[in-house]
Amino acid sequence: MGAITGAWQWLSTAANWAGEKGVWHRLAEHLWLSGLCLVLSCLIALPVALWLGHLGKGGALAVNLSNVGRAVPTFAVLVLLTLSPLGRQGEWPTVIALVLFAVPPLLTNAYLGMREADRDVVEAARGMGMSGPQLLLRVEIPLAYPLIMTGLRSATVQVIATATLAALAGGGGLGRIITAGFGNYDTAQVVAGAVLVAVLALAVEGLLVLAERLLDPMRGRRRAARTASHLTKGAGPGRAPGAPASGAPTSATTPKATTRP
Amino acid sequence: MRGGAAGPSCLEANDWICGEYLRTRSQELVDATVQHLGITAVSVVLGLLVAFPLALVARRWRGAAGPVLGLTTVLYTVPSLAMFALLTPVFGVSAAVVVTGLVLYSLTILVRNILAGLQAVPAEVREAARGMGYGPARLLYEVELPLALPALVAGLRIATVSTVAMTTIGSVVGYGGLGNLIADGMAGFFKAEVLTASVLCVLLALLADLLLLGLQRLLTPWTRVQGRAKAGARRGARTAKAVG
C-alpha cells in the first residue's frame, strides 16, 4: 500500500513534471521516438509485404522473420548498438533498434493478410479485368486490412515497450523515470514511472483499436460477409482473418504473437 | 594465460570477440546461463499451470472467455520494464518479480493457443468418446488434450522463446541471467561480455525451441505416421487439426 501512496505523491508533485527530467519532457521524447520509428517501419515493411503478398512469393522469409525477431533480446540489441560506433550518434541506436523490432510483426501480418485474402474473390476480380494495381488497391488490401491492422497494433505495442527499454541503454523516454528510480532505490518513483508507461501503452492500444474500427474500408460489410460465409460453412482459405492460431508450429497468425523486449 | 598471439591481448584491446574472455570468465558465464535457464523454466512451467485452467474456464463458460482473453491481452500490452517495476514493491527485489512478470506475459499466448487447440477437437470425436463411456475428466486427458497438443506446443514454443529473450530485462532487479552480464558489460563498456552474453541468449532460445519441437514429435507419434502416408492424407489431417 505504501508504494501506491508514494507513487501518487510522486505523481502529484508538480516539480516532477517540469524540466528536462520531468514527465512532460520524457513523454514528448517517448512519443516522438515511437511515432518516428513506427512511420519508418511502416514505410519499410508495408510496401515489401504488400508486394510479396501480391506476387505470392517470399512466404518463408515473412514468417521466419518474426520467429527470429522473437528470439533476439531487445535489451541485447540496444546495448550492442550503443557500444558500437553508432552509439556516439545521439538517438540513432534507439531508432535503429525500434525499427528492427517493429518491422517483423508489420511484415508478417501484412503478408499473411494478403495471402489469406479469399483467392476466389481475387480470381473473380482478375477475371473482371482488373489490373495488378487495381487488384492490389481495391481487393487485396481491403481484404487484408484486419491483419495489417493487427500487425500495426503489435508493432506499436512493441515500439512503445522498446522505447521504454532504451532508458536501460542510456536513451531518453519515460523508461528513464523508472531506471532513475531503481538507481536511487526510490520505489515511489519506480512505481510512478511504471504507471505512466503502462497507461501510455494501454491508451495507445485503445486508440488504435478505435481507429481500426472507424477506418475499416469494409465497415459494415465485413460482418455481413462473415455471417454469410458461416452459413455456407466456408472453412476454406478465406477463413475469418484474425482467427486464433492454428496448430501449425509457425503460427504467426496468433494475434499479438510477437516479440516482447 | 597468454594466448600465444603477439601484441596486446583482446581483453586489453576491448575486442568484440575475445577467446580469453571465454576462458577467464567461464564460471561467470555458466552461472549466468544457469540462472537464465532456471528463471525461464520456472516461468514457463508456472505459466502453463496457470494458463491451462484459465483456458478450461474460458471454454466451459462462454461469458468468461471475453474477460479472460481481454485481461491477458491487457497484461501483454504493459511494457516489460514497467511490469517488473510495478511488481517490485509487491515482492521486493527478488527473482519472484521476474518470474511473476514472465508468467503474466506467457499467459497471453498460452491461453489463446490452448483454447484454440481444445476448440478445434472435432465434435464427432468428442461424441464418440462420450458414447464409449468416457467421463469428463477422462475425455479431457485422454482424448481432447492429446488432440490439442500440437496447438499447445506451438504456443509453448512461442512463449518459451520470448521468455528466454525477455528474461534479460530482469537485470533491472539483478535477476536477469545473461541480462546481468549485458548490463554489466554496458556499464563497463566491455564489448566481449555484451556480445558473448547476447549470442548465448539467442542460442538458448533456439535450443529451447528445438527441444520443444522434439518433445512434440515424441508426444504425438501419430502425426508422423500420417506424415509418412500420402501427401493428400497429410493435408487432410492438418486442415482437420487447424480448423480454428
In order along chain A (261 residues), what is the average pLDDT of each group of 10 residues?
Answer: 82 83 89 93 92 84 84 91 83 89 92 85 88 87 90 91 88 88 87 92 92 83 59 40 37 41 49
- The partner residue sitting opposite B79, judged by closest CB among A161, A246, A247, is A161
- The partner residue sitting opposite B82, judged by closest CB among A178, A205, A251, is A178
Q: How confident is the model at residue B8 (pLDDT cuts 50, 70, 90)?
A: low
Those residues with Cβ within 8 angstroms of residue A6's Cβ, 6 or more apart along the chain or in another chain? A187, A188, A191, A192
Per-residue pLDDT of B85-123, as tens digits, reads: 999 888 988 899 999 999 999 999 999 999 999 999 999
**B169 touches B179 (CB < 8 A):** yes
B61 in a structural domain: yes
**Distance (Å, whole) CA B206 – CA B244:** 27
Alpha-helix runs per DSSP H in chain B: 10-13, 19-24, 26-60, 62-77, 80-91, 95-119, 123-131, 136-138, 145-166, 178-187, 191-219, 221-228, 231-242
End-to-end C-alpha distance for chain A, whole angstroms: 29
Those residues with Cβ within 8 angstroms of residue A21's Cβ, 6 or more apart along the chain or in another chain? A176, A180
For B120, the domain range is 27-242
Q: Is the pLDDT of residue B2 over 70?
A: no
B209 in a structural domain: yes
B58 in a structural domain: yes
**Distance (Å, whole) CA A148 – CA A156:** 12
Per-residue pLDDT of B211-239, as tens digits, reads: 999 998 998 888 776 655 555 554 554 44
SS3 category, A114:
helix
The total of structural domains in chain B comes to 1
> Could you give the maximum distance between any two Cα atoms of chain A, in Å?
69
Cβ within 8 Å, pair A260-B76: yes
CB proximity B106 to A under 8 Å: no
Q: A256 contacts in B (CB within 8 Å)?
A: 73, 76, 108-109
- The packing angle between helices B95-119 and B80-91, to 10°, is 120
Those residues with Cβ within 8 angstroms of residue B141's Cβ, 6 or more apart along the chain or in another chain? none
B20 in a structural domain: no
Specify whether the backbone of A185 is left (phi greater than 0), alpha (psi in -120 to 50) or beta.
left
B229 in a structural domain: yes
By CA distance, what is B111's nearest residue in A? A244
Best mutation site among B83, B178, B186 for testing chain A: the one with the most A CBs within 10 Å? B186
Write down the pTM of the prediction. 0.82
What domains appear along chain A, each with residue ranges and CATH number?
2-9+19-231 (1.10.3720.10)
B178 in a structural domain: yes
Q: Residues of chain B with pLDDT > 90: what percent?
A: 60
pLDDT of residue A227: 59
Cβ within 8 Å, pair A201-B79: yes
B196 CA: distance to closest CA in chain A (Å): 10
Q: How confident is the model at residue B178 (pLDDT cuts 50, 70, 90)?
A: very high
Best mutation site among B16, B18, B69, B78 for testing chain A: the one with the most A CBs within 10 Å? B78
Q: Is the pLDDT of residue B169 over 90?
A: yes
pLDDT of residue A122: 85
Q: B215 contacts in A (CB within 8 Å)?
A: none
Q: A179 contacts in B (CB within 8 Å)?
A: 81, 172
Q: How confident is the model at residue B188 (pLDDT cuts 50, 70, 90)?
A: confident
B12 in a structural domain: no
Q: A189 contacts in B (CB within 8 Å)?
A: none
B148 in a structural domain: yes
CATH of the domain at B188: 1.10.3720.10
